[in-house]
Amino acid sequence: MSQDYQALCQDCLRAPVFSSELDQKKAHQGEILCQCGGDLCACSDCLHIIQELVAGKRGYVGSVTSPVAEWSAHGGASESCQKDSGQ
């Protein structure tokens, strides 16, 4: 099984998959941005939030300040969730 290297967008909650740990680190350091232009984070808290979202948890997840109704790694939070959080 291959290792998934992900980071969580701080704006849209997308969780892009990177091909290497180096690319994940670059994303975490701000050298790679999300397709929406948001900053990506790969700290242990954000990686845990990704795990919870992948497992199907919705509502208030981790430190996310608005409830998440719909989510996918590729699309992030649903458009309605982003509007609710002022984004």
| Residue span of the structural domain in which 22 resides | 5-84
Check whether 83 has a pLDDT greater than 50. Answer: no
Q: What is the mean pLDDT of residues 36-65?
A: 93
Mean pLDDT of 26-43: 96
pTM for the complete prediction?
Answer: 0.81
pLDDT given at position 79: 52
Average pLDDT over residues 30-44: 96
pLDDT value for 80:
42
Mean pLDDT score of the chain: 87
Strands (E), 1-87: 5-6, 8-9, 17-18, 40-41, 71-72, 76-77
Are 22 and 83 in contact by the 8 Å Cβ rule? The answer is no
Domain count, the chain: 1
